[in-house]
Amino acid sequence: MPSAPAIAFDDSDFCVAARQLAVAADGDIGVWVDRVTRSAGVVVSCDRKVVEFRRFTYTPTAAMDGAWKERKAAEWNGTHCASRLWSQAIRNEWKVALSLTAADGGHLSLNAQCK
């Protein structure tokens, strides 16, 4: 039996889904993601093809060294590249970013990259 044909990625459909996710994520603002990180919402810019997950962390900026950044990037990539929808978006030039703001004012941004 032949397999079903692949459905082409549609930016406008993805935009609608991402905006719905952002609305739902508003209810998670302030919810702890892990022991030191809280959700701060999701921002979607369809014209720029950006989905930005915002988070606040109590991890001090000084602790965000190269090894820490590598671990966070690997986690971020793993989460989004394992998802068919997110990986298709990334391959279609959508930027799926994690924006972390530290309690001491530091800031870090990661973009998911699927190989």
Tell me the CATH number at 87.
3.30.300.250
User: Could you tell me whether strands 37-45 and 32-34 are parallel, antiparallel, or unpaired per DSSP bridges?
Assistant: antiparallel
* Domain count for the chain: 1
Distance CA 3, CA 94 (A): 28
- 21: confidence class by pLDDT, cuts 50, 70, 90: very high
Residue-range definition of the domain harbouring residue 93: 30-111
Tell whether pTM > 0.85: yes
Residue 103 lies in a domain: yes
- 115: confidence class by pLDDT, cuts 50, 70, 90: confident
Residue 106 has pLDDT above 80, yes or no: yes
Residue 17 lies in a domain: no
Closest CA to 50 of 97, 87, 115: 97
Residue 21 lies in a domain: no
Give the per-residue pLDDT at 113: 96
Residue 72 lies in a domain: yes
Residue 14 has pLDDT above 60, yes or no: yes
Residue 2 lies in a domain: no
